[in-house]
Structure 1
Amino acid sequence: MSYIDFMSVVHKSTQRDYLARVNEPEYPKAKAAELAKQWAFDYWDGDRRINYGGYRYMEGRWEKVARVMAEHYGIKAGDKILDIGCGKGFLLYDFTKVVPGVEVYGIDISEYAIANSKEEVKDRLQVANATALPFPDQHFDFVFSLNALHNLHNYDLDKALREMERVGKKNKYLCVESYRNEVEKANLLYWQVTCEAFCTPQEWEWWFKQTGYSGDHSFIYFE
């Protein structure tokens, strides 16, 4: 298991006003969270004060992430890869551009996201829960999950990490939110609308050992 940061290039490209978000009068934090946790229109394409404010495909945004992951793990044509929490499938689509012939699969709990996913990969995506992946043991050459598993309560997080380990062969990678100090903890609380697992890096390491997760990982910090 290694710490490998594939995500900062995307995460740090967004400017965030933490106080404005938590003090928003029309969508106070509790209301925004209630809407976001429906995983429907408001979460993906509704008002920016709730969450993404329009989650659309942007040429090149995810391709750079797909490229570095493909190079690091030696992904080649014919390999099967799975994205747990794939959303609209943008990263998986970019994987097909970076590695022609790769077999991509994705699951997401959001029916809205799958229904509005990238047409080129929609037939490889399905609505499913990370706690019960609909695939055989050791089915994938590469399994990854980006910014999804921290949205699970502890009892489901345990199942999801074990499932991720079960369906993958060797190469696995996940990225989750975390905090190293009180400033980052406050910023995380101010910004998030769906997070349930608020863990320090040391606590995440405990989870990995507890569940037998053997893949690589990195953390998103709200600095």
Structure 2
Amino acid sequence: MQPINLGAGFKLTDDNKKNGNNTMARLDFLAELHTRTKRNYVQRVIDHDKAQCADIAKQWGYDYWDGERQYGYGGYKYDGRWLVLADKLAKQYNLQPGDKILDVGCGKGFLMHEFTRAVPGVEVQGLDISSYAIEHAKEEVKPFLVEGNATSLPFPDDHFDLVVSITTLHNLRLPELHQAVKEIQRVGKKHRFISVESYRNEAEKVNLLYWQLTCESFFTPEEWVWIYQQCGYEGDWDFIFFE
């Protein structure tokens, strides 16, 4: 079997193909969004008790979403930035009116709202562990969001045309991570796209460790792809790197 190529547009060899899925790819769709925000990685560790901030962040409440920056987003407000990603995914997967889309780890539902703008007539569903995020979600999509855990998705097999999970699964420890990936595979019938935080070298690993508050799974791209393969995952992926 040939080595895995982790570049954008990676096509699996015949030996890599699983269950009739001919291609899996790294889709470099989030780098532009991620690099818009300037981060002082070291300052987060110097200015605050990082462990205490992480404990508060993992409660997934007001502090994480809309409190001070040391606890999370520092105010997670709708600004339209996710429309770029929704457009890219809609084109990549040829989404049509009537298609069903699930966002695992949907937060306040901003990406779900953008899907309805990118492809009017799609049916969106979101799931998040944070009751606060759902209570303060975008009003247009709030009726379609549910509180729940990625390890046990309350949806039938093969139900969604596209399942996405953006910067969520790295917040799970390995046993739960395996179960969540399998659940995403189970409820999707066509397309799947997962994005997680990762690192390619020691500098990016240190930056990730300095900046992160909720990450539990720290893996290189090669390790992430291995996990996906072990879980029988047939979808695409992307990574966020802290350069």
Q: Show structure 1 runs of 4+ deviating over 4 A.
A: none
Q: Distance in 1 between matches of 2:41 and 2:51?
A: 15
Match of 1:15 in 2: 38
- When the two structures are superposed, what TM-score results if normalisation uses the length of structure 1? 0.97
1:39 aligns with 2:25: no
Structure 1 residue 187, shift from structure 2 partner: 0.2
Q: Distance in 1 between matches of 2:164 and 2:118?
A: 16
Matched AA of 1:34 = D
Q: Distance in 2 between matches of 1:206 and 1:95?
A: 30
Deviation digits for residues 97-150 of structure 1 (CA, Å, limit 9, x no counterpart) = 111100000000000000100000000000010000000000000000000000
Match for residue 174 of structure 1 among 194, 198, 218: 194
Match for residue 28 of structure 1 among 46, 49, 71: 49
- When the two structures are superposed, what TM-score results if normalisation uses the length of structure 2? 0.90
Q: Distance in 1 between matches of 2:60 and 2:99?
A: 30
Match for residue 133 of structure 1 among 145, 150, 153: 153
Instruction: Report the 3-state secondary structure (helix = DSSP H, G, I; strand = E; otherwise coil) of the residue aligned with 1:197.
Output: coil
Match of 1:6 in 2: 29
Q: Distance in 2 between matches of 1:206 and 1:72?
A: 24
Instruction: Report the 3-state secondary structure (helix = DSSP H, G, I; strand = E; otherwise coil) of the residue aligned with 2:71.
Output: coil
Matched AA of 1:115 = E
Match of 2:208 in 1: 188
1:222 aligns with 2:242: yes
Deviation digits for residues 41-79 of structure 1 (CA, Å, limit 9, x no counterpart) = 0110000122100000003x1111101110110011000
Instruction: Report the 3-state secondary structure (helix = DSSP H, G, I; strand = E; otherwise coil) of the residue aligned with 1:171.
Output: strand
Structure 1 residue 170, shift from structure 2 partner: 1.9
How many pairs align? 220
* Structure 1 residues without counterparts, runs of 5 or longer: none
Q: Equivalent pairs: percent with the same residue?
A: 56
Q: Distance in 1 between matches of 2:88 and 2:27?
A: 11
